[in-house]
Amino acid sequence: MAHSHLPIQHLMKQMEHYSSEQMNLNCRPAWLNSFVDEVAEIFNPLEEVGRVGFDCQFTEEYWEVGLFLGSTEIVGGQRDGQHVAASFQFDLLQLLDRFESVNRFHFNYVEEAEAIDACDPSSAYITVEGHLADLELVRLNVYATPPTEAGPGFRKSHNGTIDTV
């Protein structure tokens, strides 16, 4: 009985370690965070301001990254509750410069009804699949509109005030 506290302490340390790992399940490598930041800089909102959202998922073969410019929710007035997608420009040559080699470069358009059925976050998006300078394979989707589950990036009141969400 004198050493019964050792297994309990060991178990407590394992639980603490497991808890910290659970909180880091969405941990991305530093090179991927840098890549997302670089690509986010390419978005050029045409009106007011923009806020880039993203999603990263690891598959068996590569990291799949989705980027989009967040929408603005209208608060008050006749359009109360409406989400407005941001208009933007996106320089495709700058995007391609981020890749060492490109295996795939597509523009995708899915009719809205099919997009909803297929769970596509947007009806129009660009896909680039290729290797980055450090030879990591990445599939990048740049969406024309944000996925519905992303929620708005901004709220705009009827008096013109814009707040981040």
Band of pLDDT at residue 95, cut at 50, 70 and 90: very high
Q: pLDDT at residue 31 above 90?
A: yes
- As a whole number, mean pLDDT of residues 87-114 equals 90
Give the range among 3-7, 111-115, 119-123 with minimum mean pLDDT: 3-7
Q: How many CA atoms lie within 13 A of 124 on its CB side?
A: 4
Q: pLDDT at residue 20 above 80?
A: no
Q: pLDDT at residue 106 above 90?
A: yes
H or E stretch covering 150: none
Residues 6+ apart with CB under 8 A from 115: 122, 123
- Where do the DSSP E strands lie in 62-132? 63-69, 72-75, 83-84, 88-90, 101-109, 124-131
Q: Where are the domains of the chain?
A: 27-164
- As a whole number, mean pLDDT of residues 46-59 equals 88
Give the range among 57-61, 64-68, 148-152 with minimum mean pLDDT: 148-152
pLDDT for residue 4: 40
Give the residue from 26, 33, 23 showing the smallest Cα distance to 138. 33
Band of pLDDT at residue 98, cut at 50, 70 and 90: very high
Q: Are 18 and 24 in contact (CB under 8 A)?
A: no
pLDDT, tens digit, 9 for 90 and up, residues 115-153:
444 444 557 999 999 999 888 999 999 999 988 788 888
pLDDT, tens digit, 9 for 90 and up, residues 70-86:
888 888 888 888 888 88
Q: pLDDT at residue 1 above 80?
A: no
Please state, rounded to an integer, the average pLDDT across all residues of the chain: 81
With 0-12 / 13-18 / 19 or more C-beta atoms within 10 angstroms meaning exposed / middle / buried, residue 138 is buried
